[in-house]
Structure 1
Amino acid sequence: MLLAQGLDRTGTGVWAAASVLYFTFVCRLDARQVGLLVGVAAVAGIAGSPIAGRLAERLPVRGLLIGSHLLRLGTMGLMLAVHGFAALLPVVAVTCLAERGAKTLEMLFATRVAGRQRGTYQALFRTVANAGYAVGAGIAAIGLAVGTTNAYRALILADALSYLLAAALIWHTREPSGLGQVVARSADEPADDPAPAPSPWRDRGYLLFVLLDIPMCLEDSVLNVGLPLWLVHHTTAPHAFVPAFLVINTVVVVLLQLPVSRRTEGPRRAAGAVAWYGVTLLACCAVLAASTGAGAWSAAAALLLAAVLVTLAELVRSVTSWELAVSLAPARARASYLGVAGMSQSVQKSVGPLLLTGAVMTAGPVGWLALGAGVTGLSLLQRRACLRRLDALRDADAATPRQLLHA
């Protein structure tokens, strides 16, 4: 399963690094069309997680995951055949929809396979995923250096091949039986709710968790959008430091993901660690605010430190978000609940860059401090809400279904 996920992320890394240039130089789209294409795809991706979760309540997860990989294989093939904006729009949208659905299905499938060791598994997966992204970016760099139309098409074929190989590996991975026993409970997890499976869309407690989880994913936009743009437009640091942000991110994740996961294992420890996410992101934002107006090398050092801090926030979030999404969901409806939980990252990818470019960086250093303070406050609220819900789920045997849904 880890190898399949690694291959998936390798292909995704290839496409992420090459897609904008492919649309620009091969498909001959202008900047406005490319922006609209990427934006619509991101919005379409929001629906991928809940659709996948809903289907997983009724159909085998393994088959759905294989189908998601094969669907992306098909859309990559179509990408080679169509070039106009109108034709590309539905193809790119379906690709993003299938990608987000596949990530939710991977989480479900891995949750079943890993059982109560899901924290350790998530740490291993994060390490493998970062290695896959790095390999994919390296492959893309070779194709981009060649720069011909055939080189771009070869990158798309490499992406498609990764999905085919991932589907083949999933086909040979055994799926544990029993939807109701999706996850083996740890010692501090509550007993399953004996009532009929509830709907996550009517569960205000869980929806609050998902809503608060959106700002808990902002480190992605800070790393990929905030740091590079802040360096270029608000500091005198050399532009050559921009690639170092992703290098630092990859190295720190590989070295520290497992140790961090051990310290946040279990639902209550994960809930407590949410507050550390806010504090770490606040420290990152404070460093970014202090970097403006400094000398070139002082600014560069501050930005590199910010890259380390935002990566530490990512390490915490990547483990706690999954652990809490699983632990806070009733076991009988875990698939549909995790589908809804997966929307938080999709929404953040759509609105996070707009928040940073349209509000935070426009306000200057004060904007970063306001962002850090706001996320820290929301992380404390998330921690309190998660601990309350865990307590409610622990008492589920004595609570009515109505009481549970309003916990």
Structure 2
Amino acid sequence: MPTVDPEAAAEAGAAKGGAPSFIARLAASVSDPVLRILVGATLISRVGRGIFLTVTVLYFTFIVGLAPHEVAIVLSAASAAGVIASLAGGWLADRYSAKRLIVLFTTIEGVALIAYVFAGDFVTALVIAVVCGLFEQGANSTRSAIIARAFTGESRVHARAVLRTVTNVAIAVGSGLGALALAIGTAEAYRVLIAGAGVLYLLGIIQLVRLPSRVDAPARVPAEPVTTETGSVDAEASAEAAAADRRAWRRHSPWRDPRYLVLTALSAVFGMQFGVAELGVPLWIARETTAPEAVVAALLILNTVIVVIFQVPLSRGTHDLRVAARVSGIAAWLMAAACLVYASAAGLPIGFAITVLVIAATVHAFAEVLSQAGGWGLSFELADPVQAGSYQGVFGMGYTVGALAAPLVVNATAISHGFSGWAVLAAIFLASGLGTWWLARRAARTVEAAAAAGAATGTGVTPAA
């Protein structure tokens, strides 16, 4: 089934006269049935995610009664479990039905969220958190494999951009609902909202079961048994043919693709920018600037607004390797600049400090949007389609590792050493972003050279990037 150009309807409307309305553009952006299903499921479940993210730390602390170090262990264990699950989810999506996997993973995650209302001690909370971390990341890798197979070229990046936009909107709504529990402050209010978050995950399954079979990996055809002239099966030759088939399959593994592993590592390092926003900036504002702590919430809202407005339009064209290289390079310079501007807010009068922080957060948000767009394009275009799930699992694992490392790196640089620490962070982001830029440009040259060689020989064959 061919994919639908996400801009077709909007362009058709514009051709008839006048610019298309916002509603028309929104409808056009989800014109593909698979994308509509994923958007519906994401919109529902991510509201639940927003609720949970808002109340989780305070729930563990005030309702379950965990000590701060126990809360840290629970959250770290969930993140560590996600590293394994990212790989496993992609690996499984190459071998089994991705549709059934994402339904199963989402179901278990929803039930596990509801189970939090019964957590009364550290061990129970730890076990539930690990289960949630495993199946959340497993579902994320499976979703990426579905996108890789259900869409092609620019449509894949567009789908990721739309889903990220919807995720931000839904989490913002969920955070508002989660604030109800914080305002009421009773154990019952916390438990009702956490249970509601789990129910929303389960409601999202109503959409996921409608996914078509084209999101699944093509069935692997086993090697045919080798027969002798008399018609009997030659066991030794058949075993050798089966072994050759397995070796051919393993040659498509992402672990045998150094370029993709380097891309994953560079993206993981740049992905620590989320740790800057979640940990570094709030601590910097509270400890080193005259700005009120309420500015933290304002900057998060600003980030969400920029992502919602600009993620889809700025992701266009990043399926092209040279475009992906360009936006990755721009993101590198923007993120480095944001670090230095954040640092310069220290010691300023309150009005100037707030202004500088807003500028830094704006630059940071655009760096985030562009880096995500470039990373998505490269993660799809440089992957071997034979094992699309495994490739997306490895790429997702990189981000999970980066998220685990971010608190340590941000604390060891910006928080511990002030301006010089921010300068080190800026250098880290600049190096990783420009590394991605270099890798993408080199890949583009390889593809162009292969295309030119194919044209010269008359084969017309362009190898995959």
The amino acid across from 2:194 in the alignment is I
Taking structure 2 as the reference length, the TM-score comes to 0.79
Other-structure match for 1:202: 256
Other-structure match for 1:120: 158
The alpha-carbon deviation at position 376 of structure 1 amounts to 0.9
Other-structure match for 1:55: 92
Instruction: Show CA shifts across 1:272-323 (max 9, x none).
Output: 2211111010110111121112111111111111111111011112222121
Q: Structure 1 CA distance, aligned partners of 2:124 and 2:381?
A: 42
- 2:375 matched to 1:338? no
The alpha-carbon deviation at position 360 of structure 1 amounts to 2.3
The amino acid across from 2:309 in the alignment is L
Other-structure match for 2:170: 132
Taking structure 1 as the reference length, the TM-score comes to 0.90
- 2:198 matched to 1:160? yes
Q: Structure 2 CA distance, aligned partners of 1:6 and 1:41?
A: 23
8 Å contact from structure 2 (residues 319, 378) kept in 1 = no
Moved more, 298-307 or 71-80: 71-80
8 Å contact from structure 1 (residues 237, 296) kept in 2 = yes
8 Å contact from structure 2 (residues 307, 369) kept in 1 = yes
Q: Structure 1 CA distance, aligned partners of 2:39 and 2:173?
A: 15
The alpha-carbon deviation at position 250 of structure 1 amounts to 1.2
- 2:90 matched to 1:36? no
The amino acid across from 1:202 in the alignment is R
Percent sequence identity over matched residues?
31
SS in structure 1 at match of 2:416: coil
SS in structure 1 at match of 2:252: coil
1:314–1:142: structure 2 CA closer, same or farther, 3 Å change rule? same
Moved more, 5-14 or 111-120: 111-120
Listed as ranges, the matches of 1:4-403 within 5 Å are 4-116=41-153, 117-176=155-214, 179=217, 196=249, 197-262=251-316, 264-392=318-446
Moved more, 376-385 or 256-265: 256-265
1:121–1:298: structure 2 CA closer, same or farther, 3 Å change rule? same
1:390–1:63: structure 2 CA closer, same or farther, 3 Å change rule? farther
Q: Structure 1 CA distance, aligned partners of 2:344 and 2:414?
A: 14
1:94–1:177: structure 2 CA closer, same or farther, 3 Å change rule? closer
8 Å contact from structure 1 (residues 48, 98) kept in 2 = yes
8 Å contact from structure 1 (residues 56, 336) kept in 2 = yes
8 Å contact from structure 1 (residues 216, 277) kept in 2 = no
Other-structure match for 2:7: none
The alpha-carbon deviation at position 113 of structure 1 amounts to 3.0
Moved more, 376-385 or 127-136: 376-385
Instruction: Show CA shifts across 1:17-57 (max 9, x none).
Output: 11111111111111111111111111111111110000001
The amino acid across from 2:147 in the alignment is A
The amino acid across from 1:234 in the alignment is E
1:66–1:393: structure 2 CA closer, same or farther, 3 Å change rule? farther
1:177–1:239: structure 2 CA closer, same or farther, 3 Å change rule? closer
1:347–1:178: structure 2 CA closer, same or farther, 3 Å change rule? closer
1:266–1:393: structure 2 CA closer, same or farther, 3 Å change rule? closer
Q: Structure 1 CA distance, aligned partners of 2:366 and 2:406?
A: 19
The alpha-carbon deviation at position 180 of structure 1 amounts to 5.5
The amino acid across from 2:375 in the alignment is S
8 Å contact from structure 2 (residues 46, 174) kept in 1 = yes
8 Å contact from structure 1 (residues 328, 390) kept in 2 = no
8 Å contact from structure 1 (residues 37, 89) kept in 2 = yes
Instruction: Show CA shifts across 1:130-170 (max 9, x none).
Output: 10110110010012111111111111111111211111110
Q: Structure 1 CA distance, aligned partners of 2:299 and 2:89?
A: 33
Q: Structure 1 CA distance, aligned partners of 2:433 and 2:215?
A: 36
The amino acid across from 1:105 in the alignment is T
The amino acid across from 2:277 in the alignment is L
8 Å contact from structure 2 (residues 254, 390) kept in 1 = yes
Which runs of no fewer than 5 residues in structure 2 stay unpaired?
1-37, 220-247, 455-464
Aligned length: 387
8 Å contact from structure 2 (residues 145, 389) kept in 1 = yes
The alpha-carbon deviation at position 174 of structure 1 amounts to 1.8
Q: Structure 2 CA distance, aligned partners of 1:263 and 1:57?
A: 27
8 Å contact from structure 1 (residues 180, 331) kept in 2 = no
Instruction: Show CA shifts across 1:194-216 (max 9, x none).
Output: x6452222322211111111122
Instruction: Show CA shifts across 1:82-123 (max 9, x none).
Output: 321112212101101111111121222233333331222222
Moved more, 105-114 or 137-146: 105-114
The amino acid across from 1:135 in the alignment is V
1:395–1:139: structure 2 CA closer, same or farther, 3 Å change rule? same
The alpha-carbon deviation at position 375 of structure 1 amounts to 1.4
The amino acid across from 2:130 in the alignment is A
1:264–1:204: structure 2 CA closer, same or farther, 3 Å change rule? closer
Q: Structure 2 CA distance, aligned partners of 1:108 and 1:227?
A: 33
SS in structure 2 at match of 1:343: helix
8 Å contact from structure 1 (residues 219, 311) kept in 2 = no
Q: Structure 1 CA distance, aligned partners of 2:39 and 2:388?
A: 22
